[in-house]
C-alpha cells in the first residue's frame, strides 16, 4: 500500500480512531471510578522538530524508531502526569503495593481544550483491522499503541516491576544515538544486557550477538557467538550463548519484521535496515537506574525509592526526555492520543496508561491491535 492509499484509508476511518474515554477528566476531575486523582508536573520535554516519538526507552528506541506522522508545534513543553492516589486508611487498596499509579501523561501545546482525541499513528499501522464492529457495549474501544517490556528492579531485596515509557522527538532520538556513537568510539560503552538470554563478557565482540538476541533474531545471534568461538574455542560464555540461541531459533525461526520506512509523511515504501545501534550503551543500566533513584530521593512525591519518573537530559545537549513508569508497571501495549480542538488543530497529546473505569469498575473492556 502506498503512503497516499494509507492516508486515504486513515481519513475514511478517522471517526473509528477516536478515543471513547474523556481524557480531559484525567486532568480536571477529583475522582474517576471512585479513585482520587492528582496532577504532577515532571518538567519539560524537548520537541525541536515537532516529530513526536513515544516508546519504551529500552525495548522501543532505536535510530530508526518512527515518529507520529502528524507533527506538533516545535518547542519545549511541560509534561503533566495524572496520578491515582494510594488508598486511604480504611479503604480497600487495588493491590498489595497500594502506591500511587500514573494513569496518563499530557503535553499541552496550546491554551485551547481538546474536544476529541484521535490516535497518534506512525503511518505503518494496518488499518484494515479497523471496522465499525467494535462499536458494542462490550468492546467500545480499540487502539494501536507502543509496546512496553516489563523491567525488573530491586528494592529492599524485592523485585519491582517498572515498565517505562518515554517521550522523544526525532531530533532528540538522533542526538542520543550520536552521543552513544561518540562514547563507543571513546571506549566508554557498557556491555548491554538482553531481555531474552543474559550474556555477560568483557569484550565488545559480544555486542553484535546481544543486539541480535534483543531483536529476536536468534539465528544471527548463534552465528555471532560462533564467530567468537572461532577466535577463542575455550570461551564458555560464548559456547553457552550459542547453544541457547540455537535452541531459541528452533522455536522462533523467523525474526521480527525489519523493514524500515522513512520518516517523511510522503514516504511510499521501505528502506534497508539501518546498521546503527546503541553502540553497546545500555540506557537503563548506564544512566536511568541511578537517575530514577536520585530523582525519587529529591522528589519523593508519588514515587517509590527506586524511582518512578525522571526528566533526563541527554548528555552534551540541552534536550530533555521525560521517562516514567507505565500505570501498574506491566508489560503490554499503551495508547497515545492527539487532542484536537474545536478548530481541528492539535492542541495536546496524551499517553494513556490506565483506563481507570476499566481497571477499577470493570465497566467495559479494551481490545488492542
| One domain, residues 223 and 355 | no
Per-residue pLDDT, 368: 43
- Whether residues 57 and 94 fall in one domain: yes
Specify whether 246 is located in the same domain as 328. no
Domain C-terminal end among 243, 277, 311: 277
Task: Classify residue 350: in a domain, yes or no.
Answer: yes
Rounded Cα distance, 26 and 38, in Å: 9
What's the pLDDT band for 32 if we cut at 50, 70, 90? very high
User: In terms of domains, do 49 and 134 share one?
Assistant: yes
Are residues 341 and 227 part of one domain? no
Domain housing 49: 3-186+302-368
Q: Domain for residue 85, yes or no?
A: yes
- Who contacts 284 (Cβ-Cβ below 8 Å, separation ≥6)? 57, 58, 151, 164
Question: For the chain, what percent of residues have pLDDT higher than 70?
Answer: 69
Domain contains 268: yes
Q: Indicate the number of domains in the chain.
A: 2
- Mean pLDDT, all residues of the chain: 77
Are 141 and 267 part of one and the same domain?
no
Q: Between the ranges 162-171, 254-263, 266-275, 334-343, where is the mean pLDDT highest?
A: 334-343
Average pLDDT over residues 339-361: 93
**Cell numbers for 324:** 516514567
Q: What is the pLDDT of residues 293-339, one digit of tens each?
A: 899 999 999 998 889 999 999 988 999 999 999 888 777 889 999 99
Name residues whose C-beta falls within 8 Å of residue 198's C-beta, 6 or more positions apart in sequence. Answer: none
Does any domain span residue 290?
A: no
Q: Is residue 292 domain-resident? A: no
Domain check: are 234 and 110 in the same one? no
DSSP 60: T
Average pLDDT of the residues in 195-202: 30
Based on the fold, state whether residues 165 and 308 are members of the same structural domain: yes
pLDDT of residue 270: 31
Q: Which residue has the higher pLDDT, 99 or 33?
A: 33
Q: What is the pLDDT of residue 68?
A: 97
The answer to the question of residue 9 being in a domain is yes
Determine, yes or no, domain membership for 135.
Answer: yes
Q: Is the dihedral of CA 65, 66, 68, 74 positive or negative?
A: positive
> What is the Cα–Cα distance from 93 to 224, expressed in whole angstroms?
49
- Residues 207 and 143 occupy one common structural domain: no
Q: Are the C-beta atoms of 203 and 232 separated by less than 8 Å?
A: no
Q: Is residue 293 part of a domain?
A: no
Quick one: pLDDT band at residue 203, thresholds 50, 70, 90?
very low
Q: What is the DSSP string of 81-117?
A: EEEEPPPPTTSPPSSSS---EEEEEEEE-SSSPPSEE
Residues 94 and 240 in one domain: no
Average pLDDT of the residues in 215-243:
76
SS in 3 state form for 209-226? HHHHHHCCCHHHHHHHHH
* CA distances from residue 87 to 28, 79, 305, 329, 352 in whole angstroms, order as listed: 19, 25, 19, 18, 21
Q: Verify that 201 and 307 share a domain, yes or no.
A: no
Amino acid at each position: 500500500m502506498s503512503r497516499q492509499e494509507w492516508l486515504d484509508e486513515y481519513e475514511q476511518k478517522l471517526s473509528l480512531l477516536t478515543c471513547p474515554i474523556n481524557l480531559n477528566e484525567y486532568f480536571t476531575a477529583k475522582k474517576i471510578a471512585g479513585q482520587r486523582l492528582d496532577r504532577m508536573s515532571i518538567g519539560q520535554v524537548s520537541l525541536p522538530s515537532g516529530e513526536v516519538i513515544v516508546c519504551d526507552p529500552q525495548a522501543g528506541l532505536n535510530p530508526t524508531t518512527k515518529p507520529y506522522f502528524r507533527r506538533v508545534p516545535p518547542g519545549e513543553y511541560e509534561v503533566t502526569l495524572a496520578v491515582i492516589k494510594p488508598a486511604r486508611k480504611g479503604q480497600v487498596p487495588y493491590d498489595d503495593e497500594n502506591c500511587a499509579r500514573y494513569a496518563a501523561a499530557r503535553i499541552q501545546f496550546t491554551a485551547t481544550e481538546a474536544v476529541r482525541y484521535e490516535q497518534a499513528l506512525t503511518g505503518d499501522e494496518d488499518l484494515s483491522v479497523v471496522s465499525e464492529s467494535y462499536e458494542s457495549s462490550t468492546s467500545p474501544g480499540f487502539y494501536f499503541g507502543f509496546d512496553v517490556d516489563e523491567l525488573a528492579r530491586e528494592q529492599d531485596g524485592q523485585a519491582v516491576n517498572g515498565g517505562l515509557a518515554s517521550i522523544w522527538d526525532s531530533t532528540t532520538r538522533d542526538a542520543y544515538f550520536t552521543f552513544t556513537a561518540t562514547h563507543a568510539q571513546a571506549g566508554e560503552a557498557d556491555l548491554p544486557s538482553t531481555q531474552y538470554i543474559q550474556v555477560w563478557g568483557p569484550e565488545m565482540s559480544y555486542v553484535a550477538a546481544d543486539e541480535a538476541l534483543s531483536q529476536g533474531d536468534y539465528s544471527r545471534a548463534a552465528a555471532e557467538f560462533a564467530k567468537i568461538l572461532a577466535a577463542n574455542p575455550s570461551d564458555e560464555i560464548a559456547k553457552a550463548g550459542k547453544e541457547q540461541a540455537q535452541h531459541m531459533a528452533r522455536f522462533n525461526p523467523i525474526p521480527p519484521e525489519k523493514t524500515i520506512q522513512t520518516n517523511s509523511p510522503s514516504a511510499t515504501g521501505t528502506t534497508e535496515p539501518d546498521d546503527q545501534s546503541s553502540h553497546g550503551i545500555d540506557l537503563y543500566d548506564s544512566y536511568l537506574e541511578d537517575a530514577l533513584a536520585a530523582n525519587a530521593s529529591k522528589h519523593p512525591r508519588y514515587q517509590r525509592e527506586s524511582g518512578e519518573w525522571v526528566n533526563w537530559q541527554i548528555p552534551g545537549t540541552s534536550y530533555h526526555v521525560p521517562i516514567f513508569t507505565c500505570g501498574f508497571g506491566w508489560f503490554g501495549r499503551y495508547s497515545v492520543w492527539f487532542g484536537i480542538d474545536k478548530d481541528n488543530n492539535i492542541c495536546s497529546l496524551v499517553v494513556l496508561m490506565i483506563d481507570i473505569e476499566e481497571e477499577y469498575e470493570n465497566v467495559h473492556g479494551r481490545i488492542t491491535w
